[in-house]
Amino acid sequence: MKAYPCDVLIVGGGLAGLQAAVTIQEKAPASKVVIADLGGGASSEIMGFCAPLAPGDSPERFAEDILRVGGGENDPALVKRLTEDAVATVRRLETLGIEFDKNDRQEYDLLKPLGSSCPRVVHHKTVTGKAIIERYRAILARNNHIAFHKSRIVKLFKHKGRIAGALGFERGAPVGYSTSNVILASGGGAGLFGFSSWTKMLNGSGYALAHDAGAELVGMNRIQFEPCVSVYPEKLYGFPIITTLLHEGVRLVDGNGDPVVNEPLPKRELALRIASVVSEGKDCGHGGVWFDFSGVEEEAFKTRYPEYYSKLRPYADRMADLRIEVKPAAHTTLGGVAINAHAETSVPGLFAAGEVTGGVHGADRIGGNAGLEVLVFGRAAGESSAAYDAPAVDIAGPAEDFLSAIPCGRSEREFLSSIGEILNDFCGVISSRKDLLAGLSRLNQLHTEFVNDPPVRKEDHVVCCHAFTTAAVFLESRLDSADT
Protein backbone atom coordinates (compact mmCIF):
# COMPACT_ATOMS: atom_id res chain seq x y z
CA MET A 1 0.00 0.00 0.00
CA LYS A 2 1.22 3.50 -0.84
CA ALA A 3 1.91 5.56 2.29
CA TYR A 4 1.71 9.34 2.60
CA PRO A 5 2.86 10.63 5.96
CA CYS A 6 1.65 14.22 6.50
CA ASP A 7 1.12 16.74 9.29
CA VAL A 8 -2.52 17.35 8.41
CA LEU A 9 -4.99 15.48 6.24
CA ILE A 10 -7.96 17.53 5.06
CA VAL A 11 -10.84 15.39 3.82
CA GLY A 12 -12.69 17.48 1.22
CA GLY A 13 -11.51 20.30 -0.99
CA GLY A 14 -14.64 22.48 -0.99
CA LEU A 15 -14.51 25.92 0.58
CA ALA A 16 -14.38 24.60 4.17
CA GLY A 17 -11.34 22.46 3.33
CA LEU A 18 -9.63 25.17 1.27
CA GLN A 19 -10.26 27.78 3.95
CA ALA A 20 -8.73 25.45 6.55
CA ALA A 21 -5.68 24.87 4.32
CA VAL A 22 -5.18 28.60 3.69
CA THR A 23 -5.36 29.23 7.45
CA ILE A 24 -2.86 26.46 8.24
CA GLN A 25 -0.50 27.93 5.67
CA GLU A 26 -0.82 31.29 7.44
CA LYS A 27 -0.38 29.90 10.99
CA ALA A 28 2.05 27.02 10.39
CA PRO A 29 3.64 27.57 6.97
CA ALA A 30 5.92 24.51 7.13
CA SER A 31 3.08 22.05 7.76
CA LYS A 32 2.82 19.26 5.23
CA VAL A 33 -0.85 19.19 4.26
CA VAL A 34 -2.69 16.74 2.02
CA ILE A 35 -6.14 17.68 0.74
CA ALA A 36 -7.97 14.50 -0.29
CA ASP A 37 -10.86 15.45 -2.54
CA LEU A 38 -13.12 13.70 -5.02
CA GLY A 39 -14.45 16.95 -6.54
CA GLY A 40 -18.05 17.90 -7.23
CA GLY A 41 -18.56 19.83 -3.99
CA ALA A 42 -21.36 22.35 -3.50
CA SER A 43 -19.09 25.31 -2.74
CA SER A 44 -18.82 26.26 -6.40
CA GLU A 45 -22.59 26.98 -6.23
CA ILE A 46 -22.40 29.57 -3.45
CA MET A 47 -23.99 32.69 -4.87
CA GLY A 48 -23.29 34.79 -1.78
CA PHE A 49 -23.11 34.64 1.99
CA CYS A 50 -24.51 36.53 4.97
CA ALA A 51 -22.76 39.34 6.84
CA PRO A 52 -24.42 42.03 8.99
CA LEU A 53 -23.33 45.03 6.92
CA ALA A 54 -26.66 46.83 6.35
CA PRO A 55 -27.36 50.02 8.31
CA GLY A 56 -28.97 48.99 11.60
CA ASP A 57 -27.78 45.39 11.31
CA SER A 58 -25.41 43.87 13.86
CA PRO A 59 -24.02 40.48 14.95
CA GLU A 60 -26.67 40.45 17.71
CA ARG A 61 -29.58 41.03 15.31
CA PHE A 62 -28.08 38.45 12.93
CA ALA A 63 -27.85 35.94 15.82
CA GLU A 64 -31.49 36.61 16.80
CA ASP A 65 -32.59 35.78 13.24
CA ILE A 66 -30.57 32.54 13.23
CA LEU A 67 -31.97 31.40 16.59
CA ARG A 68 -35.55 32.27 15.55
CA VAL A 69 -35.35 30.43 12.22
CA GLY A 70 -33.41 27.53 13.84
CA GLY A 71 -36.21 27.08 16.38
CA GLY A 72 -33.75 27.33 19.27
CA GLU A 73 -32.15 24.01 18.24
CA ASN A 74 -28.92 25.88 17.48
CA ASP A 75 -25.74 25.77 19.56
CA PRO A 76 -25.47 29.39 20.83
CA ALA A 77 -21.64 29.25 20.99
CA LEU A 78 -21.46 28.39 17.29
CA VAL A 79 -24.01 31.07 16.41
CA LYS A 80 -21.94 33.62 18.35
CA ARG A 81 -18.75 32.77 16.49
CA LEU A 82 -20.53 32.70 13.12
CA THR A 83 -22.15 36.10 13.57
CA GLU A 84 -19.18 37.82 15.22
CA ASP A 85 -16.67 36.65 12.59
CA ALA A 86 -18.84 37.48 9.57
CA VAL A 87 -17.72 41.04 8.87
CA ALA A 88 -14.04 40.17 9.44
CA THR A 89 -14.48 37.35 6.92
CA VAL A 90 -15.69 39.83 4.29
CA ARG A 91 -12.77 42.18 5.02
CA ARG A 92 -10.22 39.36 4.83
CA LEU A 93 -11.55 38.27 1.44
CA GLU A 94 -11.42 41.85 0.20
CA THR A 95 -7.75 42.07 1.11
CA LEU A 96 -7.25 38.94 -1.03
CA GLY A 97 -8.83 40.70 -3.98
CA ILE A 98 -12.44 39.44 -3.86
CA GLU A 99 -14.71 42.29 -4.93
CA PHE A 100 -18.23 42.26 -3.56
CA ASP A 101 -20.90 43.98 -5.65
CA LYS A 102 -21.74 47.55 -4.61
CA ASN A 103 -24.44 50.02 -5.66
CA ASP A 104 -23.94 53.53 -7.09
CA ARG A 105 -23.41 54.92 -3.58
CA GLN A 106 -20.58 52.39 -3.06
CA GLU A 107 -22.64 50.50 -0.47
CA TYR A 108 -22.70 46.70 -0.53
CA ASP A 109 -25.46 45.36 -2.78
CA LEU A 110 -27.03 43.17 -0.09
CA LEU A 111 -29.69 40.59 -0.98
CA LYS A 112 -32.39 39.61 1.47
CA PRO A 113 -32.39 35.86 2.11
CA LEU A 114 -35.48 33.99 3.24
CA GLY A 115 -35.78 34.10 7.02
CA SER A 116 -33.64 37.20 7.44
CA SER A 117 -35.01 40.40 9.00
CA CYS A 118 -32.96 42.60 6.65
CA PRO A 119 -30.82 42.40 3.47
CA ARG A 120 -27.61 40.59 4.35
CA VAL A 121 -26.11 38.52 1.50
CA VAL A 122 -22.88 39.91 0.05
CA HIS A 123 -21.98 38.56 -3.34
CA HIS A 124 -19.53 38.78 -6.20
CA LYS A 125 -21.96 38.74 -9.14
CA THR A 126 -23.63 35.33 -8.67
CA VAL A 127 -20.37 33.40 -8.54
CA THR A 128 -18.96 34.17 -5.09
CA GLY A 129 -18.09 30.55 -4.27
CA LYS A 130 -16.26 30.03 -7.58
CA ALA A 131 -14.32 33.30 -7.17
CA ILE A 132 -13.11 32.42 -3.65
CA ILE A 133 -12.23 28.84 -4.63
CA GLU A 134 -10.16 30.15 -7.53
CA ARG A 135 -8.35 32.62 -5.27
CA TYR A 136 -7.63 30.06 -2.55
CA ARG A 137 -6.42 27.45 -5.04
CA ALA A 138 -4.03 30.00 -6.55
CA ILE A 139 -2.65 30.80 -3.06
CA LEU A 140 -2.23 27.12 -2.17
CA ALA A 141 -0.62 26.25 -5.52
CA ARG A 142 2.37 28.42 -4.54
CA ASN A 143 3.10 26.26 -1.48
CA ASN A 144 4.87 22.99 -2.19
CA HIS A 145 4.02 21.68 1.29
CA ILE A 146 0.40 21.39 0.16
CA ALA A 147 -0.70 18.51 -2.06
CA PHE A 148 -4.07 17.67 -3.60
CA HIS A 149 -4.91 13.97 -3.91
CA LYS A 150 -7.89 12.71 -5.84
CA SER A 151 -8.52 10.04 -3.24
CA ARG A 152 -11.59 8.80 -1.40
CA ILE A 153 -11.05 8.56 2.35
CA VAL A 154 -12.80 5.45 3.67
CA LYS A 155 -11.59 5.04 7.23
CA LEU A 156 -10.15 7.07 10.10
CA PHE A 157 -7.86 5.27 12.55
CA LYS A 158 -7.28 6.05 16.19
CA HIS A 159 -4.48 5.15 18.57
CA LYS A 160 -5.03 5.50 22.33
CA GLY A 161 -8.22 7.46 21.68
CA ARG A 162 -6.59 10.01 19.34
CA ILE A 163 -6.62 10.27 15.57
CA ALA A 164 -3.73 8.29 14.06
CA GLY A 165 -4.42 8.44 10.33
CA ALA A 166 -6.68 7.46 7.51
CA LEU A 167 -7.08 5.00 4.68
CA GLY A 168 -8.12 6.07 1.21
CA PHE A 169 -8.38 4.79 -2.33
CA GLU A 170 -6.64 6.56 -5.17
CA ARG A 171 -7.66 5.29 -8.61
CA GLY A 172 -8.76 2.02 -6.99
CA ALA A 173 -5.53 1.41 -5.04
CA PRO A 174 -5.41 1.70 -1.24
CA VAL A 175 -3.35 4.58 0.20
CA GLY A 176 -2.46 5.13 3.86
CA TYR A 177 -2.15 8.56 5.51
CA SER A 178 -0.27 8.48 8.81
CA THR A 179 -1.19 11.68 10.63
CA SER A 180 -2.41 12.66 14.07
CA ASN A 181 -4.35 15.59 12.66
CA VAL A 182 -7.41 15.29 10.40
CA ILE A 183 -9.85 17.98 9.32
CA LEU A 184 -13.14 16.65 8.07
CA ALA A 185 -14.58 18.99 5.43
CA SER A 186 -16.42 16.48 3.30
CA GLY A 187 -19.66 18.41 2.76
CA GLY A 188 -23.23 17.17 3.10
CA GLY A 189 -25.28 14.14 2.18
CA ALA A 190 -28.25 15.45 0.18
CA GLY A 191 -26.87 13.75 -2.94
CA LEU A 192 -27.98 10.43 -1.45
CA PHE A 193 -31.60 11.43 -2.20
CA GLY A 194 -33.05 10.57 -5.61
CA PHE A 195 -34.18 14.19 -6.17
CA SER A 196 -31.61 16.59 -4.84
CA SER A 197 -30.37 20.05 -5.71
CA TRP A 198 -26.83 18.85 -6.17
CA THR A 199 -24.68 15.94 -7.32
CA LYS A 200 -24.46 12.38 -6.17
CA MET A 201 -20.85 13.09 -5.12
CA LEU A 202 -22.17 14.45 -1.84
CA ASN A 203 -23.15 11.14 -0.36
CA GLY A 204 -22.55 11.95 3.30
CA SER A 205 -19.48 9.75 3.73
CA GLY A 206 -18.09 12.23 6.28
CA TYR A 207 -20.89 11.46 8.74
CA ALA A 208 -20.08 7.76 8.52
CA LEU A 209 -16.33 8.40 8.92
CA ALA A 210 -16.89 10.56 12.00
CA HIS A 211 -19.48 8.25 13.54
CA ASP A 212 -17.21 5.26 13.04
CA ALA A 213 -14.34 7.17 14.71
CA GLY A 214 -16.55 7.81 17.76
CA ALA A 215 -17.35 11.48 17.10
CA GLU A 216 -20.75 12.76 18.17
CA LEU A 217 -23.37 13.66 15.53
CA VAL A 218 -26.12 16.23 16.21
CA GLY A 219 -29.33 17.29 14.47
CA MET A 220 -29.20 14.58 11.82
CA ASN A 221 -33.01 14.72 11.57
CA ARG A 222 -32.68 18.15 9.98
CA ILE A 223 -32.28 18.00 6.20
CA GLN A 224 -32.95 21.26 4.41
CA PHE A 225 -35.09 20.95 1.32
CA GLU A 226 -34.50 23.64 -1.25
CA PRO A 227 -38.06 24.81 -1.90
CA CYS A 228 -37.78 25.75 -5.57
CA VAL A 229 -35.98 23.19 -7.74
CA SER A 230 -37.14 22.92 -11.36
CA VAL A 231 -39.13 19.94 -12.56
CA TYR A 232 -40.41 21.49 -15.81
CA PRO A 233 -39.43 22.33 -18.58
CA GLU A 234 -37.62 19.02 -18.74
CA LYS A 235 -34.32 20.59 -19.78
CA LEU A 236 -34.21 22.40 -16.44
CA TYR A 237 -35.01 19.29 -14.37
CA GLY A 238 -33.09 19.45 -11.08
CA PHE A 239 -31.99 23.07 -11.50
CA PRO A 240 -32.35 25.01 -8.22
CA ILE A 241 -33.69 28.57 -8.49
CA ILE A 242 -32.46 31.04 -5.93
CA THR A 243 -35.19 31.98 -3.44
CA THR A 244 -34.04 35.59 -2.94
CA LEU A 245 -36.01 36.12 -6.20
CA LEU A 246 -39.15 35.83 -4.07
CA HIS A 247 -38.20 39.27 -2.77
CA GLU A 248 -37.93 40.59 -6.34
CA GLY A 249 -41.55 40.02 -7.39
CA VAL A 250 -41.62 36.28 -8.14
CA ARG A 251 -44.93 34.65 -7.12
CA LEU A 252 -45.53 30.98 -6.39
CA VAL A 253 -48.79 29.83 -7.95
CA ASP A 254 -50.55 26.45 -7.78
CA GLY A 255 -52.34 24.53 -10.55
CA ASN A 256 -55.60 26.44 -9.87
CA GLY A 257 -53.83 29.77 -10.30
CA ASP A 258 -53.96 30.52 -6.56
CA PRO A 259 -50.97 31.91 -4.67
CA VAL A 260 -49.09 29.29 -2.68
CA VAL A 261 -47.93 31.83 -0.07
CA ASN A 262 -48.85 35.40 0.68
CA GLU A 263 -45.36 36.36 1.81
CA PRO A 264 -41.89 34.81 1.46
CA LEU A 265 -41.43 32.25 4.25
CA PRO A 266 -38.22 30.72 5.65
CA LYS A 267 -37.07 27.80 3.48
CA ARG A 268 -38.40 25.01 5.71
CA GLU A 269 -41.90 26.47 5.95
CA LEU A 270 -41.92 27.28 2.25
CA ALA A 271 -40.86 23.72 1.30
CA LEU A 272 -43.59 22.35 3.61
CA ARG A 273 -46.18 24.66 2.05
CA ILE A 274 -45.26 23.64 -1.53
CA ALA A 275 -45.21 19.94 -0.59
CA SER A 276 -48.68 20.26 1.00
CA VAL A 277 -50.15 22.01 -2.06
CA VAL A 278 -48.76 19.24 -4.27
CA SER A 279 -50.03 16.48 -1.98
CA GLU A 280 -53.51 18.07 -2.14
CA GLY A 281 -53.42 17.47 -5.92
CA LYS A 282 -53.01 21.15 -6.82
CA ASP A 283 -49.74 20.75 -8.71
CA CYS A 284 -49.10 22.21 -12.16
CA GLY A 285 -48.75 18.97 -14.08
CA HIS A 286 -45.30 17.72 -13.04
CA GLY A 287 -45.58 17.52 -9.26
CA GLY A 288 -44.65 21.15 -8.57
CA VAL A 289 -45.97 24.73 -8.49
CA TRP A 290 -45.27 27.66 -10.81
CA PHE A 291 -42.32 29.96 -10.04
CA ASP A 292 -43.96 32.87 -11.82
CA PHE A 293 -41.75 35.73 -13.02
CA SER A 294 -44.56 37.91 -14.39
CA GLY A 295 -44.19 40.43 -11.53
CA VAL A 296 -40.39 40.74 -11.86
CA GLU A 297 -38.82 43.83 -13.35
CA GLU A 298 -36.77 42.54 -16.31
CA GLU A 299 -33.83 44.93 -15.97
CA ALA A 300 -33.38 44.14 -12.25
CA PHE A 301 -33.48 40.41 -13.00
CA LYS A 302 -30.89 40.82 -15.74
CA THR A 303 -28.44 42.93 -13.77
CA ARG A 304 -28.69 41.33 -10.33
CA TYR A 305 -29.00 37.69 -11.43
CA PRO A 306 -27.22 37.49 -14.81
CA GLU A 307 -26.59 33.71 -14.71
CA TYR A 308 -30.21 32.96 -13.81
CA TYR A 309 -31.38 35.46 -16.40
CA SER A 310 -29.43 33.87 -19.23
CA LYS A 311 -30.43 30.36 -18.17
CA LEU A 312 -34.16 30.95 -17.55
CA ARG A 313 -35.21 33.90 -19.71
CA PRO A 314 -35.11 31.93 -23.02
CA TYR A 315 -38.01 29.77 -21.77
CA ALA A 316 -40.61 32.45 -22.65
CA ASP A 317 -41.04 35.02 -25.41
CA ARG A 318 -42.21 37.68 -22.96
CA MET A 319 -40.97 38.16 -19.40
CA ALA A 320 -44.63 38.26 -18.33
CA ASP A 321 -45.05 34.66 -19.54
CA LEU A 322 -41.97 33.25 -17.89
CA ARG A 323 -42.78 30.52 -15.36
CA ILE A 324 -40.94 27.39 -14.28
CA GLU A 325 -42.50 24.50 -12.37
CA VAL A 326 -40.63 23.82 -9.14
CA LYS A 327 -40.79 21.53 -6.14
CA PRO A 328 -38.62 20.98 -3.05
CA ALA A 329 -35.48 18.85 -3.34
CA ALA A 330 -33.04 17.61 -0.68
CA HIS A 331 -30.51 20.41 -0.49
CA THR A 332 -28.22 20.72 2.48
CA THR A 333 -27.70 18.74 5.64
CA LEU A 334 -28.23 20.90 8.70
CA GLY A 335 -27.08 18.37 11.27
CA GLY A 336 -23.70 16.70 11.36
CA VAL A 337 -20.54 16.25 13.38
CA ALA A 338 -20.74 18.08 16.71
CA ILE A 339 -18.04 20.74 17.06
CA ASN A 340 -17.27 23.53 19.49
CA ALA A 341 -16.58 27.12 18.46
CA HIS A 342 -12.96 26.11 17.67
CA ALA A 343 -14.11 23.40 15.24
CA GLU A 344 -12.90 20.65 17.57
CA THR A 345 -14.90 17.40 17.64
CA SER A 346 -15.19 15.05 20.60
CA VAL A 347 -12.24 13.01 19.19
CA PRO A 348 -8.77 14.50 19.87
CA GLY A 349 -7.02 15.28 16.60
CA LEU A 350 -10.27 15.35 14.60
CA PHE A 351 -11.49 18.79 13.52
CA ALA A 352 -14.47 19.47 11.31
CA ALA A 353 -15.91 22.37 9.33
CA GLY A 354 -18.60 23.15 6.80
CA GLU A 355 -21.68 21.23 5.88
CA VAL A 356 -20.39 18.01 7.46
CA THR A 357 -20.87 19.65 10.87
CA GLY A 358 -24.07 20.31 12.80
CA GLY A 359 -25.32 22.64 15.49
CA VAL A 360 -25.10 26.13 14.06
CA HIS A 361 -28.31 26.22 12.01
CA GLY A 362 -30.69 24.21 14.21
CA ALA A 363 -34.01 23.25 12.60
CA ASP A 364 -33.65 25.50 9.56
CA ARG A 365 -30.98 27.56 7.84
CA ILE A 366 -31.18 31.12 6.60
CA GLY A 367 -30.07 31.30 2.97
CA GLY A 368 -26.46 32.47 2.73
CA ASN A 369 -25.43 31.06 6.10
CA ALA A 370 -23.83 27.91 4.70
CA GLY A 371 -21.37 30.02 2.73
CA LEU A 372 -20.50 31.95 5.85
CA GLU A 373 -20.27 28.77 7.91
CA VAL A 374 -17.66 27.17 5.63
CA LEU A 375 -15.48 30.28 5.79
CA VAL A 376 -15.76 30.95 9.54
CA PHE A 377 -15.43 27.36 10.74
CA GLY A 378 -12.97 26.43 7.99
CA ARG A 379 -10.77 29.12 9.48
CA ALA A 380 -11.47 27.89 13.03
CA ALA A 381 -10.52 24.34 12.02
CA GLY A 382 -7.30 25.59 10.40
CA GLU A 383 -6.37 27.54 13.53
CA SER A 384 -7.08 24.63 15.90
CA SER A 385 -5.34 22.13 13.68
CA ALA A 386 -2.24 24.36 13.39
CA ALA A 387 -2.07 24.61 17.18
CA TYR A 388 -2.54 20.86 17.76
CA ASP A 389 0.42 18.63 18.33
CA ALA A 390 0.44 14.87 18.89
CA PRO A 391 2.92 12.17 17.83
CA ALA A 392 2.27 10.39 14.54
CA VAL A 393 1.69 6.63 14.52
CA ASP A 394 2.23 4.19 11.64
CA ILE A 395 -1.18 2.96 10.54
CA ALA A 396 -0.01 0.45 7.88
CA GLY A 397 -0.85 -2.57 10.08
CA PRO A 398 -4.39 -1.52 11.06
CA ALA A 399 -5.03 -0.37 7.49
CA GLU A 400 -4.07 -3.80 6.07
CA ASP A 401 -6.21 -5.53 8.72
CA PHE A 402 -9.15 -3.28 7.87
CA LEU A 403 -8.83 -4.04 4.16
CA SER A 404 -8.47 -7.79 4.52
CA ALA A 405 -11.55 -7.96 6.76
CA ILE A 406 -13.81 -6.43 4.11
CA PRO A 407 -16.03 -9.30 2.94
CA CYS A 408 -16.68 -8.37 -0.65
CA GLY A 409 -16.01 -9.72 -4.10
CA ARG A 410 -12.94 -8.48 -5.88
CA SER A 411 -13.40 -5.93 -8.59
CA GLU A 412 -12.98 -6.65 -12.26
CA ARG A 413 -9.97 -4.33 -12.18
CA GLU A 414 -8.22 -6.46 -9.55
CA PHE A 415 -8.72 -9.64 -11.59
CA LEU A 416 -7.53 -7.90 -14.75
CA SER A 417 -4.44 -6.60 -13.00
CA SER A 418 -3.63 -10.08 -11.58
CA ILE A 419 -4.06 -11.59 -15.06
CA GLY A 420 -1.75 -8.88 -16.39
CA GLU A 421 0.91 -9.79 -13.83
CA ILE A 422 0.67 -13.48 -14.74
CA LEU A 423 1.19 -12.67 -18.42
CA ASN A 424 4.09 -10.33 -17.57
CA ASP A 425 5.80 -12.95 -15.46
CA PHE A 426 5.14 -16.13 -17.44
CA CYS A 427 4.37 -15.15 -21.03
CA GLY A 428 7.09 -12.58 -21.70
CA VAL A 429 9.49 -12.09 -24.57
CA ILE A 430 11.36 -15.17 -23.50
CA SER A 431 9.32 -17.85 -21.77
CA SER A 432 10.21 -21.49 -21.29
CA ARG A 433 7.68 -24.34 -21.32
CA LYS A 434 8.16 -24.49 -17.57
CA ASP A 435 7.24 -20.77 -17.29
CA LEU A 436 4.16 -21.18 -19.46
CA LEU A 437 2.93 -24.18 -17.44
CA ALA A 438 3.51 -22.28 -14.21
CA GLY A 439 1.57 -19.35 -15.71
CA LEU A 440 -1.33 -21.62 -16.64
CA SER A 441 -1.37 -23.06 -13.16
CA ARG A 442 -1.47 -19.55 -11.62
CA LEU A 443 -4.20 -18.58 -14.05
CA ASN A 444 -6.28 -21.63 -13.06
CA GLN A 445 -5.78 -20.79 -9.41
CA LEU A 446 -6.94 -17.21 -10.03
CA HIS A 447 -9.90 -18.51 -12.03
CA THR A 448 -11.00 -20.67 -9.06
CA GLU A 449 -10.87 -17.54 -6.89
CA PHE A 450 -12.92 -15.73 -9.54
CA VAL A 451 -15.57 -18.48 -9.58
CA ASN A 452 -15.84 -18.44 -5.77
CA ASP A 453 -15.80 -14.66 -5.40
CA PRO A 454 -16.88 -13.00 -8.67
CA PRO A 455 -17.35 -9.25 -9.27
CA VAL A 456 -20.91 -8.10 -8.66
CA ARG A 457 -21.70 -6.43 -11.98
CA LYS A 458 -22.62 -8.77 -14.83
CA GLU A 459 -20.70 -6.69 -17.36
CA ASP A 460 -17.54 -6.92 -15.19
CA HIS A 461 -18.07 -10.65 -14.92
CA VAL A 462 -18.07 -11.09 -18.70
CA VAL A 463 -15.06 -8.79 -19.11
CA CYS A 464 -13.10 -11.02 -16.71
CA CYS A 465 -14.25 -14.26 -18.43
CA HIS A 466 -12.96 -12.89 -21.72
CA ALA A 467 -9.65 -11.96 -20.12
CA PHE A 468 -9.23 -15.45 -18.59
CA THR A 469 -9.98 -17.11 -21.94
CA THR A 470 -7.62 -14.91 -23.92
CA ALA A 471 -4.82 -15.18 -21.35
CA ALA A 472 -5.15 -18.98 -21.36
CA VAL A 473 -5.00 -18.96 -25.17
CA PHE A 474 -1.82 -16.79 -25.07
CA LEU A 475 -0.14 -19.20 -22.67
CA GLU A 476 -1.29 -22.46 -24.31
CA SER A 477 -0.56 -21.36 -27.84
CA ARG A 478 3.10 -20.88 -27.02
CA LEU A 479 3.54 -24.26 -25.29
CA ASP A 480 4.17 -26.27 -28.48
CA SER A 481 7.02 -24.09 -29.70
CA ALA A 482 8.56 -23.31 -26.31
CA ASP A 483 11.92 -24.60 -25.11
CA THR A 484 11.78 -26.79 -22.07
Ligand X SMILES: Cc1cc2nc3c(=O)[nH]c(=O)nc-3n(C[C@H](O)[C@H](O)[C@H](O)COP(=O)(O)OP(=O)(O)OC[C@H]3O[C@@H](n4cnc5c(N)ncnc54)[C@H](O)[C@@H]3O)c2cc1C
Q: Which residues of this protein are in contact with ligand X, per CB under 6 A?
A: 11-17, 36-43, 45-49, 152-153, 185-187, 197-198, 201-202, 205-206, 240, 331-332, 354-356, 368-371, 374
Burial call 368-394: b when 16+ CB within 10 Å, e when fewer: bbbbbbbbbbbbbbbbbbbebeeeebe
Task: Identify which of residues 198 and 293 has a Cβ nearer to ligand X in the complex.
Answer: 198
CB of residue 465 to ligand X, shortest distance in Å: 32
Q: Which residues pair with 232 in a beta bridge?
A: 325
Q: How far is CA 430 from the centre of its chain?
A: 51
- Comparing CB distances to ligand X, the nearer of 369 and 418 is 369
Q: Is-contact 463 416, C-beta < 8 A?
A: yes
3-class state of residue 164 by DSSP: strand
User: Which of residues 228 and 446 has its CB atom nearest to ligand X in the complex?
Assistant: 228
Report d(CA 231, CA 210) in Å as an integer. 34
**447-456 CB burial, b ≥16 within 10 A, e <16:** beebeeebbe
Residue 423 near residue 415 (C-beta atoms within 8 A): no
Rounded CA gap, 342 and 379, in Å? Answer: 9
How far, in Å, CA of 48 to CA of 246, rounded?
A: 16
Least Cβ distance, residue 377 to ligand X (angstroms): 9
The nearest distance, CB 365 to ligand X, in angstroms, is 8
Q: Which is nearer to ligand X, 173 or 479 (CB)?
A: 173
For ligand X, the closer CB: 17 or 398: 17
Question: CB of 185: closest distance to ligand X in angstroms?
Answer: 5
Give least dist CB 394 to ligand X, A: 21
Compute the least distance from the CB of residue 456 to ligand X, in Å. 21
Tally of residues, the chain: 484
Residues with Cβ within 8 Å of residue 425, at least 6 apart in sequence: 435, 439
For ligand X, which is the closer residue by CB, 113 or 439?
113
For residue 16, the minimal CB distance to ligand X (Å) is 3
Burial (0-12, 13-18, 19+ Cβ within 10 Å), 293: buried
Which CB sits closer to ligand X, 323 or 331? Answer: 331
Nearest to 238 by CA among 325, 334, 309, 315: 325
Q: Which residue is nearest to ligand X (CB)?
A: 14
CB of 331 to ligand X, least distance (A): 6
Contact present, 331 and 196 (Cβ < 8 Å)? yes
Residue 288 or 368 having the CB closest to ligand X: 368
SS3 sequence of 299-361? HHHHHHCHHHHHHHHHHCCCHHHCEEEEEEEEEEECCEEECCCCCECCCCCEEECHHHEECCC
Residue 86 or 260 with smaller CB distance to ligand X: 86
- Is residue 333 within 8 Å of 204, Cβ to Cβ? yes
The distance of closest approach from Cβ of residue 399 to ligand X in the complex, given in angstroms and rounded to an integer, is 15
